[in-house]
Structure 1
Amino acid sequence: MILFRYLTREVLLTMSAVAGILLLIIMGSRFIRYFSSAAEGDFPITILGNLMLLHLPGFMELILPLAFFLGILLAYGQLYMNSEITVMVACGVSPTRLLKVTLLPAMLVAALVGLCSLWLTPLGTLNTETMLEEQRSRLDVSVLAPGRFQEFGQGRTAYISEFSDDGKKMENVFVHELGDRGENVHNYVTRAASGYQEIRSDTGSRFLVLQDGERYGVTPGRLEAERLTFERYTLRLGATRERQSFDSFEVASTAALFANPDPRAQAQWQWRAGLPLMVFILALMAQPLSKVNPRQGRFGKLLPAVFLYVAYLSLLLAAVDTIGSGAWPVAVGVWPVHGLFLGLGLLLLWHSQRKGMR
């Protein structure tokens, strides 16, 4: 029990450090991408935190297997460097028992990966797509950034100088609209000292209410122009839409995918179900790969191990695409890829034990 707690703690602590670094890199890259889109007015910056949180399970289902794989390599590599595993073997700890100790935390990691891949990731993807679709369909002043000309939907371009302290009132509003008048395109330019958004509770319609301004109408190629001075002018932005439904296999539930005979649905289901299995196979390969000579250093086999993981993941993705396109039988599926690396892991383990006995 003491040996189990010691090895498990070493592996999980190393895995947590690796997972934290990888998660920071990946989420940082996605944050920059979303922040740029928010700055361009694609969606309000207030939902940025929700988007990052919804993407977290999708990141974790790929990060955790790699982090666990590297955690075993680094933790056991350090134990080999310190000759601790040599002492364990001398005290009667067989390689088989060491493998059993390794597979026990693998069950915990596989459960977390399965929770993400089978439930949390599709749910998060569905909520993300719904949220972004609602923001694309809505014409909301919350997407506007002060000091920028931004597309505002329905051929409108808007500019505001600043928001009030509570974020509800806009100062120095400029709105350009395009409208058809016969065969000509009519331009409307509206300037106002201030404005705010108003939502009618009975209909759900949204309006941009402008105060103390002027509205000009000009048709290119014609000399006359229209001018309107107003104290209050209302622009209808649109009505709130119902929540959208998505017919995508990526956001479908795992039970729905399993019952769907479509090759794309079966490919997506096998991808989700195969990720927890991937954790055990990587753990099987990691134990023999972690055995290093003290002269090599603990990072001696790290680069080949990373290449092995990349090859495993690339073959899985290629198999999923091939099954989805109908070029590979659904009954065979992605399981030959898992079988290939399972056989490789058993071969590495057998070779390591045989070499140790000699």
Structure 2
Amino acid sequence: MSALGRLVPDRLDGYTLRLFAPPLAFALGTLLLAQMLERLLRLFDLAASTGADLTAIMRMAGNLLPHYLGLAIPTAFTAAIFMAVARLGDNSELDVMLGTGRSIVRIAMPYFGVAALLCGFNFYLFGYLQPMSRYDYHVAVNDALQAGWDARVEDNRFVNAGQGFRLSATKVGPDGRTLEGVFVQRRIDGDEEITTAKHGLLKPSADGRRLLLELEDGTVVRESADKTASFLRFEQGLINADFTPAPPTYRARGESVRELTLRELWDGMHGRGAERDIPVRKLAGEFHGRLARSLLLPLLPLLALPLGMASKRGKRAPGVVFACLALLALNHALQFGESMAESGRAAALIAVWLPLVVFAVFVTWLFHGSLAWPGDNPVTRAIGAIESGFEGFGGRGGKKKKTA
């Protein structure tokens, strides 16, 4: 059979992917749930302290999902390959495949195909979806923080009522809107207006769309920017401004490099696009960091497949632990490289890509080491040597104790 014919997907590839899909979905769901739970507790606490509703919490949680998805995909992908290959080994199906002349590289081809698809999705995730959702999350948090002013006033506390108004009352009724000892301050364009009244009431307008402040027995003092002052007393008054709560507009997107798309990062690195007060080194560190994480997935089958083939019943823990440690070390190395590049202590091409190149060399060596003898690789040999050392140490200790 020609080399091209061997690359054509067949029924064994479909069977391999059917074994792979459930562990991938399970691992991805579990990791997302584990990561989101702690943040959800913090969001509920934020909502409880600000008075935000459940819709705001769901909006914030939804905007966090792309961030946690980017963290979960590499780990879930590696774990799914490991579990699928280990199951093939448990049922001796792997031995049958190898016995019919199917090479380990050919067995790995479906996983490389999935990795290529996920790699394309990662470009969209890291390049566009994450920066947009991160900004939307901050907008949602700002809206939740501003939800604390619900047009109800507490005794002797100043509240920002919007449109330049600050409102306070010495005594407030049970409804939070019947006021005594009212103090209202408003500053706009250098002009200041202070209104005091014995009684006040926050009440809806005739059309029910606005909230107005009705006052009794009060005074108004106005001071303009040129220090001209005026004084007015009244028995009945109405501040015909809308006291309906409305959060201020949040800042524009792009003040942080993490809110910029890959295209915007690239344009900023080359002096194009919108002008921002962000150093080029920070733009470069973020750009190369996202690119490196997007291209990571095709390397993961080289790590998971040898460890999965080497796992046997009751002896999977070493492979799982090693895979987790390898991914954790790579993640921290990439973060360290990004910080080095953003601080200007190293070029982004070296600081960010060197850890990925080292990881690629290591997993290629690991995969190549398992081709001659499936189930045997440098990691399993090292783990076996460590176990033998501990068993030998324990055996010598036991003999000495028996002799004594």
The reply to whether residue 128 of structure 1 matches residue 137 of structure 2 is: yes
Change (3 A) 1:82 1:141: same
* Deviation, structure 1 residue 194: 6.7
- Which residue matches 2:339? 321
Residue equivalent to 2:80: 71
Does residue 111 (structure 1) correspond to residue 120 (structure 2)? The answer is yes
1:258 paired residue number: 266
2:261 partner amino acid: S
Give the match for residue 165 of structure 1: none
Partner of 1:23: 32
Partner of 1:339: 357
Distance 1:27 1:148 in 2: 38
Question: Within 2, Cα distance between the matches of 1:198 and 1:328?
Answer: 65
Q: 1:336 offset after TM fit, Å? A: 0.9
Q: Deviations over 1:228-268 (max 9, x none)?
A: 99797777658775553142111112111113230111111
Indicate which of 31, 40, 43 corresponds to 2:49: 40
Are the structure 2 counterparts of residues 70 and 156 from structure 1 closer, same or farther at C-alpha, using a change threshold of 3 Å? farther
Give deviations 1:309-341, integer Å, cap 9, x for gaps: 111111111111111000111332411111111
What residue is the counterpart of 2:251 in the other structure? 244
Aligned to 1:224: none
Contact 2:257 2:282 in 1 (8 A): yes
**Pair 3,139 (structure 1): closer, same or farther in 2 beyond 3 Å:** closer
Q: Indicate how the Cα distance of structure 1 residues 357 and 52 shifts in structure 2: closer, same or farther if over 3 A, else same.
A: closer
Q: Aligned partners of 1:9, 1:149: CA distance in 2, in Å?
A: 66
Unmatched runs of 5 consecutive residues or more in structure 1: 163-170, 181-185, 202-206, 216-227
CA distance in 2 between counterparts of 1:147 and 1:88 reads: 75
Measured in 1, the distance between the counterparts of 2:197 and 2:76 equals 56
- 1:292 corresponds to which letter in structure 2? A
- The one-letter code matched in structure 1 to 2:49 is E
Q: Contact between 2:311 and 2:319, CA under 8 Å: does it hold in 1?
A: no
1:113-132 per-residue CA deviation (whole Å, 9 max, x = no partner) reads: 22211110011112222343
Within 2, Cα distance between the matches of 1:148 and 1:270? 54
CA RMSD of aligned residues (A): 4.1
Q: How far does residue 200 in structure 1 lie from its aligned partner after superposition? A: 11
| Aligned-partner SS, 1:327 | coil
CA contact (8 A) 2:197 2:215 kept: no
SS of the residue corresponding to residue 349 of structure 2 reads coil
- Measure, in 2, the Cα distance between the counterparts of 1:189 and 1:282: 71
Match of 2:290 in 1: 272
| Deviation of 1:111 (Å) | 2.1
CA distance in 1, matches of 2:22, 2:315: 20
Deviation for aligned residue 1:108: 2.0
Alignment partner of 2:370 out of 349, 352, 357? 352
- What pairs up with 1:188-199 in 2 under 5 angstroms? 195=203
Give CA deviations for 1:7-55 in whole Å, capped at 9, x if unaligned: 1122222111011011112222222111111111175543221211121
Partner AA of 2:107 in structure 1: L
CA distance in 1, matches of 2:206, 2:117: 51
- Give the Cα–Cα distance (whole angstroms) in 2 for the partners of residues 116 and 300 of structure 1: 32
Contact 1:192/1:212, CA 8 A, preserved across alignment: yes
Aligned residue type for 1:92:
G
Select 2:177's aligned residue among 173, 180, 204. Answer: 173
Q: State the partner residue of 1:81.
A: 90
Aligned residue identity for 1:173: R
Describe the SS at the equivalent of 2:296. Answer: helix
TM-score (norm 2): 0.68
TM-score by length of 1: 0.76
In 2 relative to 1, CA 69–172 (structure 1 residues): closer, same or farther, beyond 3 Å?
same
Question: Cα distance 1:306–1:146, how it changes in 2: closer, same or farther (>3 A)?
Answer: farther
* 1:93 paired residue among 97, 102, 110: 102
What is the one-letter code of the residue matched to 1:209? Answer: L
Letter of the aligned partner of 1:263 in structure 2?
R
- The one of 313, 319, 341 aligned to 1:301: 319
**Structure 1 residue matching 2:25: 3-state secondary structure:** helix
Give the structure 1 partner of residue 189 of structure 2.
none
Instruction: Work out which structure has the larger RCO, using CA pairs closer than 8 Å and 6 or more positions apart in sequence.
Output: 1
- Secondary structure at the residue paired with 2:177? strand
For the pair 1:281 / 2:299, whether they are aligned, the reply is yes
86 and 130 in structure 1: CA distance in 2 versus 1, 3 angstrom threshold: same
In 1: Cα distance, 2:176 partner to 2:375 partner: 82
The question of whether the paired residues in 1 share the 8 Å contact of 2:27 and 2:79 is answered with yes
Segments of structure 2 that go 5 or more residues without pairing to the other structure are: 1-9, 187-193, 219-233, 270-279, 377-404
- The question of whether the paired residues in 2 share the 8 Å contact of 1:173 and 1:191 is answered with no
CA pair 67-190 structure 1, distance change in 2 beyond 3 A: farther
Which one of 46, 50, 59 corresponds to residue 59 of structure 2?
50
Q: Percent identity at matched positions?
A: 18
Q: Which has the higher strand share?
A: 1
Distance 1:150 1:10 in 2: 62
Greater radius of gyration (CA): 2
Q: Which amino acid aligns with 1:74?
A: M
